Amino acid sequence: MIQHPNALLVHQCLQAANVGDRQTLRALWADDIVWRVKGAGPWHGDIKGPDEIFEYLGSLGEVGHVGFNTAVEDVMVSNTRASVLCQARAQMGDRILDASYLLIASIAAGRVQEIVSVPIDPERLAEFWT
């Protein structure tokens, strides 16, 4: 199987995010990266720049006692984008989140320029956060 460079890039990003490796993420992200969060959760809208995104990801990691974990289910790539179907798992008190979402990354010059996060089941996500 041939690995597309953009598939490898998004896998590296997700692995680095899961372990909190900011140095790797800074190297893989554009300096002016924007993360657009869709859905009805405490975080939605545009998050601009690596520092604000690190704050956002840190907030996700602090959810409950087991944190927030993302597993890749499928990756679709082109020369300018990578779409990743992910499974999110988190626990907050007695509430458990087990939901799919789509990450769409725009890529230029080997770095992620923009990420759009779209929940597949927005009702399940909203229920978890309320």
How many independent structural domains does the chain possess?
Answer: 1
Q: In tens digits, what is the pLDDT along the chain, a chain of 130 residues?
A: 458 999 999 989 988 887 888 999 999 999 999 999 987 666 788 999 999 998 887 776 654 445 567 788 888 999 999 999 988 887 777 888 888 989 999 999 999 999 999 999 888 877 777 7
Q: What is the CATH number of the domain that holds 78?
A: 3.10.450.50
- pLDDT recorded at residue 78: 95
Structural domain boundaries enclosing 20: 5-129
Cβ-proximal residues to 98 (8 Å cutoff; 6+ apart), any chain = 87, 88, 89
Q: pTM of the predicted model, to two decimals?
A: 0.84
Q: Which residue, 77, 70, 111, 72, is CA-closest to 3?
A: 77
pLDDT at 1: 43
